[in-house]
Amino acid sequence: MGDLPPDPEPPPQPTSSRRNSQVSERRRSREHSRPQPTVPGEVQQVPLDAQILRSSREMVSNQINRGWSQGASLTPNENFIFQAEEAQRGGIEYPSLNTGFPSEVQPQTYPSEGRLQASHNASLMLQQLQQGKGNLFQQLESAYQEPRADLLGQYTRYQREDLQFSQGTQHGPYLRDDPVLQFSPSELGFMPFNVEVPEPDPRELAVQNAKAYLLQTSVNCDLSLYEHLVNLLTKILNQRPEDPLFLLESLNRTTQWEWFHPKLDTLRDDPEMQTTYEMAERHKALFSQSGGGEGEQEMEEEVAETAVPNIMEKAFYFEQAGVGLSSDESFRIFLALKQLVEQWPIHTCRFWGKILGLRRSYLVAEVEFREGEEEVEEEEVEEVMEGGEVMEAHGEEEGEEGEEDEEKVTDVIPKPTWKPPPVVPKEESRNGTNKYLYFVCNEPGQPWVRLPHVTPIQIVQARKIKKFFTGFLDAPVISYPPFPGNEANYLRAQIARISAATHISPLGFYQFGEEEGDEEEEGGAGRDSYEENPDFEGIPVLELVDSMANWVHHTQHILPQGRCTWVNPLQKTEEEEELGEEEEKADEGIEEVEQEVGPPLLTPLSEDAGSLRTSTSAGATSTVLRISTRPCQPLFSKSTPAARRSWR
Amino acid sequence: MDEESLLLSLELASGSGQGLSPDRRASLLTSLMLVKRDYRFDRVLFWGRILSLVADYYIAQGLSEDQLSPRKTLYSLNCMEWSLLPPATEEMEMQTSVVKGRFMGDPSHEYEHTELQKVQIKEETRLVSIIDQIDKAVAVIPRGALFKTPFGPIRVNRTFEGLSSSEAKKLSSYFHFREPVELKNKTLLEKADLDPSLDFMDSLEHDIPKGSWSIQMERGNTLVVLRSLLWPGLTFYHAPRTKNYGYIYVGTGEKNIDLPFML
């Protein structure tokens, strides 16, 4: 029950009324060390009829239980009994109040909640007890009438009591357990039980009605406007914000929100945070695994060269250039890469970058398997696919033949002369575009997924379309011209294109291996391997900035065909030649496939098509000279190569 | 992002890969504070960085008491000396709509465009116009961060404790940080559900084309990041249940016209 019915509040003062309401409600002034200044204001608080009824019922039942027989003495005694009852029931409220006291609003809501519930339970219990007793209702009636008559007297009485409370309140919470201590016999003695008060005058009646209205609770909740205002004003007074008038509305909303969302719920986990906690657990697993790995390494005598790169060092350099993820993110990536290295037989590993997607992003790792470790799974997949294609081809042929047989008599459907363009074979692993293997994951801690090798046709199509990544590898890529593959293939194709176009290094850092015989013989194939130049001395930063000629590509250029090394599609397989010799010869005249040539490895950037395609900016600071070069081509995903890396 | 929480904001917004180098960060911290004092701004936001061929532009904006009043924009090439930019006009926007390509990096550079007659457009004008367009199109603020008082000015809501995790994943909890344009077009039924003190700006939900925002959870679900696909480079981050939010634009200043094809 909201307020302790008997309007006991000394006239105005919302704060004192709050105090009083709290006091009267909880009686054992839990708010002791917080005597609030009284704010003048005429707020008469009128007990709610229903509440009076309830409390009076309770009182009556209590009276019955305790053998009280006084009707008129209900109200004063109500409180005592009520409080006594409450003291027992309000046990929950103690701890919350006694902790974290001043200027904390929450304790106030808890007690009110607890109190309400407590009082509700109490009233319910008592009402059930009362139901059997017929004469009860009559008593109720009488009891109902009495309190109203006693209003005036109660006013004065309660004021006195309040004063006493405010003095007595400084002694601490233990007081509440003992009603006797607080309400000295002398007080009881002063209760004018038999005072007859004339009917309240209209003004007071109006006040009572107003209070009754404020105290009513709606169907939806147990909170009355009165309660809410009390909480709100308490909050304001505790927090003392500047410009409270401006903040009133938001404070109002916050208080309401707090009412419906009690923060303490020790029995149940917050359902909203469930996914967050799961992710945190997963990240924790990342850290604990790495910890275990380190321990093992220490045991071994020699620490083998871990394939995992020093991500943190590189992140530091990138940070100087203004590019990169935050440091803890980089560390998590480092741990995830470590996990990757442990799972697969990896020779070298590098963090390639991050590709942003619509729903999730991809972290890409560039990896080279150890010598001899072939990707068996890949081959199996390929066989399956090729088998499928062959089956389809057979099916078509049979279908055609069938038709021809049937319609031999009538018409011979002309066979279409169109032949799909020959498929350019994809490059072998460790060659050209498939030199490295790529693993992706969505977030550090999630398992790494291997991307399939890229085929030339995929690269060719990827050049023609522009699509966002969704973050799911099996999502279809719906575009025109149609892309042969799903998002994993598209991702792989883009990675190949980016690597080929933007991996650069300073001139001289890499050099070709042993001089091979004749460059001319190899023609466009050129050299496809390089090694670090041990004699590299570094180029001064200013020179690096000024001229593009000081930077070179160290990945092979992808020909328009989609491969790094030229393959003439017409001479692909002997089988085809046998089947369609004549046609091919006829076609040869039409299609003269030229050998495609691309710039050889280690070509300086100045030879790149479109001289303004790269932008260099050098930031000179007192300590650090940094350089970053960015290609200005409209790449669909941002990429920022610097030195010999490419990041996104 | 607010200049007061600059370091934390930069860290949270770093998921997009572009950020600031430590020397720039340090200079920003000092210079923004001086800007705030000199221009008497109520709040200074670090707006972002426009990448150009030679030198990047660093942009800051200053707000007065009323959060929705026109903001003053400043630019700098070295994060130390800031120059005020003129406010954007429609004329500027028309002029710059013909200029394509990257920014040059020199504010006095002039683009030449020949249509009926040769027109020269200064890079500064283009800068102003682009910033204004980006602001109008994709500046984001979460619901509840600002509130409107009956007396007029829009104020920062000091009791904003952050969106809840479920709300944070919905586009409707984010608003455009500009004067509302579509609010009046809502039906009466929709308006009845709105709270006039909080819902006085357009939400992101009805942006055209649909799907032009990518909303993701990062850092293991503790950070929600919105990225605009129309102006690639704009990142908005918010940590649910905390007061941290902000947006930053790091990009080339080019609108992604191919957006409908890319979705």
Q: Which of B67, B221, B228 to mutate to test the interface with A (most CBs of A within 10 A)?
A: B221
**Per-range mean pLDDT, top range of A74-88, A96-110, B13-27:** B13-27
Contacts of A445 in chain B (CB under 8 A): 220
The per-residue pLDDT for A263 is: 59
Q: Are strands A362-369 and A437-441 parallel, antiparallel or unpaired?
A: antiparallel
Q: Which position has the higher pLDDT, A151 or B138?
A: B138
The per-residue pLDDT for A171 is: 52
Contacts of B11 in chain A (CB under 8 A): 326
Q: Which 361-400 residues of chain A touch chain B by CB within 8 A?
A: 361
- Cβ-defined contact of A358 to B11 (cutoff 8 Å): no
- For B142-198, how does the pLDDT look when each residue is reduced to its tens digit (9 = 90+)? 988 888 877 778 888 877 888 888 888 888 889 888 888 877 777 777 777 777 778
- For B110-124, how does the pLDDT look when each residue is reduced to its tens digit (9 = 90+)? 888 777 778 888 888
- Cβ-defined contact of B214 to A359 (cutoff 8 Å): yes
Sorted by sequence, the CB contacts under 8 Å of residue A423 that are 6+ apart come out as: A457, A569, A572
Q: Which 58-77 residues of chain B touch chain A by CB within 8 A?
A: none
Nearest alpha carbon to residue B44 among B55, B57, B25, B31: B31
Q: Which 95-154 residues of chain A touch chain B by CB within 8 A?
A: none
**Residue A572's pLDDT band (cuts 50, 70, 90):** very low
> Mind spelling out the 3-state secondary structure of B63-95?
ECCCCCCCCEEEEECCCCCCEECCCCCHHHHHH
The answer to pTM > 0.80 is no
**Nearest residue on chain A to B152, alpha-carbon basis:** A246
Q: Which 328-347 residues of chain A touch chain B by CB within 8 A?
A: 329
Express as a percent the part of chain A with pLDDT over 90: 4
A411-415, B135-139, B236-240: the lowest-pLDDT one: A411-415
Residue A360's identity, in one-letter code, is: R
A31-35, A533-537, B4-8, B26-30: the lowest-pLDDT one: A31-35
**Per-range mean pLDDT, top range of A106-110, A533-537, A553-557, B128-132:** B128-132
Sorted by sequence, the CB contacts under 8 Å of residue A630 that are 6+ apart come out as: A614, A615, A639, A640, A641, B51
Q: Would you say residue A21 has pLDDT above 80?
A: no
Q: Does A475 touch chain B (CB under 8 A)?
A: no
Half-sphere exposure of B87 (CA within 13 A, CB side): 6
**Per-range mean pLDDT, top range of A29-43, A109-123, A561-575:** A561-575
Contacts of A275 in chain B (CB under 8 A): 165, 221
**Nearest residue on chain A to B221, alpha-carbon basis:** A276
- For A352-381, how does the pLDDT look when each residue is reduced to its tens digit (9 = 90+)? 999 988 888 899 999 888 776 655 544 444
**Preceding amide of B70 cis, omega within 30:** no
- Cβ-defined contact of B220 to A276 (cutoff 8 Å): yes
* Structure tokens that stand for A166 in this block: 């405010």
Sorted by sequence, the CB contacts under 8 Å of residue A258 that are 6+ apart come out as: A105, A106, A109
Q: Does B243 touch chain A (CB under 8 A)?
A: no
What mean pLDDT is reported for chain B? Answer: 85
The per-residue pLDDT for B220 is: 76
Among A272, A360, A636, select the one facing B165 at the smallest CB separation: A272
Sorted by sequence, the CB contacts under 8 Å of residue A332 that are 6+ apart come out as: A283, A286, A444, A445
A125-134, A264-273, A495-504, A636-645: the lowest-pLDDT one: A636-645
A81-95, A396-410, B138-152: the lowest-pLDDT one: A81-95
**Nearest residue on chain B to A251, alpha-carbon basis:** B159
- Three-state DSSP class for A414? coil
**Residue A191's pLDDT band (cuts 50, 70, 90):** low
- Cβ-defined contact of B17 to A320 (cutoff 8 Å): no
Section A216-222 average pLDDT: 67
The per-residue pLDDT for A491 is: 93
* Structure tokens that stand for B195 in this block: 């709270």
Q: Which of A617, A625, A639 to mutate to test the interface with B (most CBs of B within 10 A)?
A: A617
What mean pLDDT is reported for chain A? Answer: 63
Q: Would you say residue A576 has pLDDT above 70?
A: no
Among A278, A322, A619, select the one facing B19 at the smallest CB separation: A322
Contacts of B20 in chain A (CB under 8 A): 322
Sorted by sequence, the CB contacts under 8 Å of residue A135 that are 6+ apart come out as: none
Express as a percent the part of chain B with pLDDT over 90: 5
Q: Which position has the higher pLDDT, A211 or A640?
A: A211
* Phi, psi for residue B138 in degrees, rounded to 5: -135, 10
Q: Would you say residue A58 has pLDDT above 60?
A: no
- Cβ-defined contact of A630 to B51 (cutoff 8 Å): yes
Q: Which 217-236 residues of chain B touch chain A by CB within 8 A?
A: 218-222, 227, 229, 232-233
Q: Which position has the higher pLDDT, A263 or B250?
A: B250
Among B14, B220, B258, select the one facing A280 at the smallest CB separation: B220
**Per-range mean pLDDT, top range of A7-21, A135-149, B241-255:** B241-255
Tell me if A222 sits within 8 A of A124, measured CB to CB: no
- Three-state DSSP class for B238? strand
Section A5-14 average pLDDT: 44
- For A158-170, how does the pLDDT look when each residue is reduced to its tens digit (9 = 90+)? 445 444 444 444 5
- Cβ-defined contact of B21 to A283 (cutoff 8 Å): no
Among A325, A617, A638, select the one facing B55 at the smallest CB separation: A617
d(CA B156, CA B158): 6
- For A243-263, how does the pLDDT look when each residue is reduced to its tens digit (9 = 90+)? 777 677 767 777 776 666 655
Interface predicted TM-score of the whole assembly (ipTM), two decimals: 0.88
Section B256-260 average pLDDT: 85
Q: Would you say residue A19 has pLDDT above 70?
A: no
The per-residue pLDDT for A291 is: 52
